[in-house]
Structure 1
Amino acid sequence: MTETAPKTLPQSIDGVIELLGTENYLAGRPLATVVFLALKMQRPLFLEGEAGVGKTEVAKVLAKALGRPLIRLQCYEGLDIASAVYEWNYAAQMLEIRLSEAAGISDRARLNADIYSERFLIRRPVLEALHGEAGAAPVFLIDELDRTDEAFEAFLLEILSDFQVTIPEFGTVKAAAPPIVIVTSNRTREVHDALRRRCLYHWVDYPSAADELAIIRRKVPRASVQLSRQIVSFVQRLRTVDLFKNPGIAETLDWATAVTELDRLALDPETISDTLGTLLKYQEDIARMQGGEGTKILSEVKAELLAQEA
């Protein structure tokens, strides 16, 4: 399989909008501006917002559009250095020690230098992200940072400040070309100011109705215009209801795809009831919408759209 040659970085905000658009990502000007500045200034970009609004997708699309490798560090509670940064191949090291002993090698300094060399080093995502070449450095996605603990967050400060990491037995590994770093957070906890200061920041909000309709038209082209407009209006109203979890753009696209696969040209109460599991992810929210409230919202949506057409 032939790899895509890396592309040059966009030289303007409009260039960023066009670049992301080649991968069907509709970026507003504020987001495109901060992406452009992060690329130009070689600074990490910290994207915060509700789950499902497209934060992770920015990194994926940017990597694909630029022809760069995407290295993803999926954060979770208890994430440690061995899983995120590096670890030593202990089995291979023990074998090397035994072979050296069998060969009569007794120089401990030489043996120590040998077993802690790069050939025994297992690179995890952080270390992989620091091994890019000029003009082809990877996109490094640190996804859902708020799920880790503060100790690991503090460890990232050296990486985000100087694009380097220190390995006690090996030394300091510094990136020849800084990776494009995207950090995301769903704000389940506050990320420390020290990390925020090292990044450019942008809050990714739910899209406007016009933007959400444009996204559906791009991503689910088989959906009829009428169905797309109804879905957008329904979801936009749904986000004003006191739900356990509001649907993001990812859920909107899933719903549009599901209803289209059922060959529906417009929404009706039965279709909504049958497909709510693609839009809402908590039983309490689904039960609420399967009652009269879902039908009521649909009636309001149809009345609104008819008024707009009049």
Structure 2
Amino acid sequence: MPAVPGSIDDTLALLGRASYVGDRALATVIFLSLRLARPLFLEGEAGVGKTEVAKVLAASLDRRLIRLQCYEGLDVASAVYEWNYPAQMMAIRLAEAAGEHDKDRIEHDIFSERYLIKRPLLQALEPGTNGAPVLLIDEIDRADEAFEAYLLEILSDFQVTIPEIGALKAPEPPIVVITSNRTREIHDALKRRCLYHWLGYPDLNREMAIVRAKAPRAPQRLTAELVAFVQSLRKQDLFKSPGVAETLDWAAALAELDAVALDPTQVSDTLGVLLKYQDDIAKIEGAKAQMLIEETRAELRRLEIG
């Protein structure tokens, strides 16, 4: 079983072996989260690699990854547990048919773990073969505030209280990663239980390193130009700037088209890989794309890159 990193440098190495290009600040908060057994709260724009952190930790530490995708209306039955009512009803009928009339005993039997359907949060409290699992609570900002309040017990004591059974506590705290795209503010009570880190867009050099690691088919010149182009796009007045995930998709798409450098027509034709709103595409395609490509190349020459 892979050991938990013993230092910040070890954490950086762990991320690197999984081709995750993170900086020292991120490695530091991950290291502290693992050592202190505290949930890690990652906030930032969509597509900057927040979810990937949990996947990398699960794969690198050989732990089970349990993912709870949040959405509006998420409730206890979907996130934590619910009773298997059809099986309970069958058990009651079988008990009555067998002449069992002790209601307390029947109730005790049907409200046991045998009839409990465990959802992601309850599953995360169970020990795994190689240690506690990695629990990813993804896009918590999409869930309701009432669900946030329910998480407080789990994140404080790593336990779930079920009225019919009592408290079920994790023998070992899971590795918890919570992500938010900041579509709304998360309550301070939840944030206080976590170590917080803002994951922003990477700078030019780090984003090029990410593309080289994740999209190695893209030629060196193309990688430099497309990353610099995306960096320029993020400075434009767009409804939604492209994230690193879109940069990787674009690199893969241009490599598939056998591009070796940015071409204005090809850029305009493939903007839908980068931008997801027609108004944004209309702002950039054509002459604007040509201008950004020229500015991109001038900046790369200035930096002696590419």
Question: Same fold per TM (> 0.5)?
Answer: yes
- Residue of structure 1 equivalent to 2:169: 174
CA RMSD across the alignment = 1.1
Residue number among 223, 248, 263 corresponding to 2:258 in the alignment: 263
Q: Map Cα deviations across residues 284-304 of structure 1 (whole Å, 9 max, x no partner).
A: 111111132111101111222
Contact 2:43 2:181 in 1 (8 A): yes
Using the TM superposition, give the Cα deviation of residue 305 of structure 1 relative to its aligned residue in structure 2, in angstroms.
Answer: 2.2
Q: What is the TM-score of this pair, normalised by structure 2?
A: 0.98
Contact 1:70 1:141 in 2 (8 A): yes
Q: What is the correspondence of 1:185-200 to structure 2 with a 5 Å cutoff?
A: 185-200=180-195
Q: For 2:258, what is the secondary structure of its paired residue?
A: coil
Equivalent residue for 1:251?
246
- Following the alignment from structure 1 to structure 2, what is the Cα–Cα distance between the partners of residues 134 and 181? 17
Instruction: Tell me the distance in 2 between the aligned counterparts of 1:296 and 1:103.
Output: 82
- TM-score, structure 1 normalization: 0.96
User: Where do residues 1-310 of structure 1 align in structure 2 (5 Å cutoff)?
Assistant: 6-133=1-128, 136-309=131-304
CA contact (8 A) 2:64 2:128 kept: no
Separation of aligned partners in 1, 2:301 and 2:121: 53
Shift of 1:135: 5.5
Distance 1:182 1:137, change over 3 A: same
Which residue identity is paired with 1:12?
Answer: S
CA distance in 2, matches of 1:212, 1:34: 20
Q: How big is the shift at 1:169?
A: 1.0
Number of aligned residue pairs: 305
Contact 1:134-1:176 at 8 Å conserved across structures: no
Partner Cα distance (2:303, 2:168) in 1 = 60
Unaligned runs of 5+ in 2: none
8 Å Cα contact 1:38/1:45 also seen in 2? yes
Identity %: 64
